[in-house]
Amino acid sequence: MTTAASSSSTSAGFAEAAESTTLAASPRALPLGPLMIDIAGHQLSELDRERLCHPLVGGIILFTRNYRDPEQLRALTAEIHALRQPQLLIAVDHEGGRVQRFRAGFTRLPAMRSLGETYAADSEAGRQLARATGLVLAAELRAHGVDYAFTPVLDLDYGPSRVIGDRAFHRDPAVIVDLVKALGEGLRAGGMGTCGKHYPGHGYVIPDSHVELPVDERPLSEIQEDIKPYRQLVQAGALDGVMAAHVIYRQVDPATAVFSRHWIDYLRQDVGFAGVVFTDDLSMAGAGVVGDMLARVETAYAAGCDMLLVCNSPDAVGDVLARWQPPQDAAYQARSARIERLATAMQHPVGDLLASAAYRAAQALLPAVA
């Protein structure tokens, strides 16, 4: 806990940095903070610029409402990247199937279950299709200035889930791992990393955490099958990020994974993950268990999450930026460094991938399944 004096000093430091950044004529060196926020439209407003330059902000997530056409998206991402140094991490939910935010002007990507079905018939064909999907996904996003996609889904396809469904590759963890390794090869060839979700597993529960709070009653021993893809992909060095779930695993911890120090510590210490841990959107109904947005941000941060997503709630963003005062201690600096490493890696120049023979060959494989 911080003292009143240290809290005041921290708040003043954030305010001073935010003001100087906003007033600067050129991008100012400013560590990336733990919040990922969103905007309302196709271009930045003055309020958007002010908020994106706040020291607590480290990234932005884009939605379908932020996309009109390829030229507009390139202009928007260029303006966002020009605001700060290091550049903000620009992310999007762009998995394929029903979760693809940008469509007109982009290749239609297959749902991940179709990759699993292809794999079941011919494992090499499945891997080839996964690799091609990853390359097309990454190359097209990077060509439009988007750094990172929250993909792949590592949830097991148990069947009845209202929110996962065909977003999952397969029921068998071994098949998921094999396909994700291939997808990741494609993503990396396109200049993009991976983000496994929804840790430790969202596929077993039926409710949709966007509108309800799912509860998984299984003991840890049974959840190990869901954790297996994370464990094996971390050991293979194939995960750059992990997104935690708004699910309560009651026999393990009474808090959802996003708000659970137990689950984040387990990911770090037992699974061995050293990359960036993202929350799922803290505006979702499944996150309401701990209170208002400030309480959600504080609880997720205390649990050990690195980057906290506050989406579709502009008033809540303003309230958090005005009131949250995390201590700028060694833990804060370590989290900022993890976020910066990820952002810098994703923003490394990759050339004109859309003109490459590899991209064209990969794209040619997709229409039949998409």
Catalytic residues: 210, 280
Do the beta carbons of residue 263 and residue 250 sit within 8 Å? Answer: no
Tokens of 218: 């299984």
Place of tokens 């090499």: 124
- Which residues, 6+ apart, have CB-to-CB distance to 41 below 8 Å? 65, 66
Do the beta carbons of residue 86 and residue 346 sit within 8 Å? Answer: no
Widest Cα–Cα separation across the chain: 65
Measured CA distances, 64 to 67, 69, 92, 238 (Å): 5, 11, 9, 28
Q: Which helix (H) or strand (E) holds 78?
A: helix 70-81
C-alpha–C-alpha distance, residues 133 and 80, integer Å: 27
Strand spans (E) along 108-169: 148-149
Do the beta carbons of residue 272 and residue 234 sit within 8 Å? Answer: yes
C-alpha–C-alpha distance, residues 249 and 239, integer Å: 23
